[in-house]
Structure 1
């Protein structure tokens, strides 16, 4: 949250500081009310995850694309077989929840149907994602208390062996750094971030947005955690643009490559998430072990 002294006279005249603080107070109340809700099978899932004694746990927020969860699960099975993938379903479409639940049951993936989001519509996507992550943090991660946990976007797929605990062996958090448009704040994208809960468990982590600081989902952790860290001293994800040809047109399309993780993206462009997923799925299925090397040959910074 921006300090009051950082607002301009024009912003004060427009009452923007008051508006931002009222909206933040509303979001906090909504988040806390949502956090108190329970999910079917929640207690059994917590017990299952505790018993796994895995070196790390990976959590993904599913949203309406069973095909994305299938691709992420395939990649985790191949490149991170000892890391449970916990699918937390924030889908707005009932049929998608049914499909994702069935997929997880068939594959033996830990599954949690999140309570319906208090935020609806495309305009509220970031806030819906944020309250879902906070629910997962307080209802699953803290009760299970894994030493290390990762947050992965549902349309991410690893293309090389994964060592999540190793990424935070010498620092409390690791991931892809994103900066705000103004004011100097930064945060780790919660689509690819890893945390040492032993080091951070005492902090009131908050994966909500910080709109006044122009920080998206996860930006509230700027004031809680990231402002105390020197980004120059942190190891962070290497990001590149990878190019994969659209099978229908032959035209190379850009995709984010964070370390060895390929982000499908494309929910709002390139024909939508399903089309981009089909393109990446075809490339992955053709050569899962060699796809990363091929992408790096033409990747751009």
Structure 2
């Protein structure tokens, strides 16, 4: 059977229903797995004076956690960073935990995640964090940042949220999907790699950070029907996207920059130029020397 025929078959209603059932079973199984450990971790965090938290989900790439945790020390963000590890590699987990210990960053290893699709794996991990950590921590403000997205200057994230429901990078459903809200506006969602919320505004929402491919939305789109669709857009603060040209050893690339200060490496899980080990090493050197004061405090060499 050709790949096109397979794709057509996968889109049939019966197959979609079975896939949806499979995804829901895995979601419920994962949300219940290790829940008591998440509650205990939240209790340990409650003993600290901080009230604003930024969670990042690590995935098999210690060098970006090295960058992120250092950047959080260098530049004020108005939040406390917490690393939640979804890595499949035990070696990566050990390395990431060691980095966090050296930098005084709270670390928690997620239970085994049986989702093999990266988007669903990431989304269900965020959902697990909300229901098993955040709802027991009860912070003033919380949110998520991609493990390869870090500040290159000061940004007060808590202030950006302010009195609004949230702050983040808005994305819209693909135009080929005609699902609309009452005012004929396309459905939208915060990118899962940059989304923050007033806890009091979402405490009782059934947040679901999985994708909604049926509506043309990637990771984070599951929050459209349970949150974003229920409020006017002006109740949310929107980040702005620009691009930063970076030249590394003659290789030029444009990287995403949010609100002029949050640098998104993208490709940190080894796409684009980052599939080349030499480029990764050169990019790491560039980041440390340009933004973090030199490589003397780097803990992981590539």
Q: Do both share a fold (TM > 0.5)?
A: yes
Query: Paired residue for 2:73, among 55, 73, 77?
Result: 77
Alignment of 1:94 with 2:97, yes or no, is no
Alignment of 1:65 with 2:61, yes or no, is yes
Q: 1:208 to 1:276 in 2, by over 3 A?
A: farther
Within 2, Cα distance between the matches of 1:257 and 1:96?
Answer: 27
Aligned to 2:141: 148
Count, aligned residues: 273
Give the Å deviation of 1:117. 1.1
Over the residues paired in the alignment, what is the CA RMSD in angstroms? Answer: 2.5
Q: 1:190 to 1:273 in 2, by over 3 A?
A: farther
Structure 1 segment 109-148 matched on structure 2, within 5 A: 109-120=105-116, 124-148=117-141
| Partner SS for 2:150 | strand
| Partner SS for 2:274 | coil
Alignment of 1:286 with 2:282, yes or no, is no
For the 8 Å contact 1:68–1:277, the answer to whether it is kept is: no
Q: 1:16 to 1:197 in 2, by over 3 A?
A: farther
For the 8 Å contact 1:243–1:254, the answer to whether it is kept is: yes
Alignment of 1:265 with 2:266, yes or no, is yes
Aligned to 1:254: 254
Give the Å deviation of 1:118. 1.0
What TM-score, normalized to structure 2? 0.82
Structure 1 segment 164-175 matched on structure 2, within 5 A: 164-175=157-168
Q: 1:275 to 1:258 in 2, by over 3 A?
A: farther
Within 1, Cα distance between the matches of 2:278 and 2:164?
Answer: 38
Aligned to 2:202: 200
Within 2, Cα distance between the matches of 1:282 and 1:231?
Answer: 40
Aligned to 1:31: 27
Give the Å deviation of 1:59. 0.3
| Partner SS for 2:47 | helix
For the 8 Å contact 1:41–1:112, the answer to whether it is kept is: no
What TM-score, normalized to structure 1? 0.83
Within 2, Cα distance between the matches of 1:216 and 1:137?
Answer: 18
Within 2, Cα distance between the matches of 1:15 and 1:90?
Answer: 29
Aligned to 2:297: none
Give the Å deviation of 1:30. 1.3
- With 35-44 and 194-203 compared, the bigger mean Cα shift is at 35-44
Aligned to 2:182: none
Within 1, Cα distance between the matches of 2:187 and 2:57?
Answer: 25
Within 2, Cα distance between the matches of 1:285 and 1:14?
Answer: 45
Within 2, Cα distance between the matches of 1:195 and 1:132?
Answer: 17
Give the Å deviation of 1:14. 9.3
Give the Å deviation of 1:82. 5.7
Give the Å deviation of 1:278. 3.7
Gaps spanning 5+ residues in structure 1: where?
1-12, 291-301
Q: 1:253 to 1:127 in 2, by over 3 A?
A: same
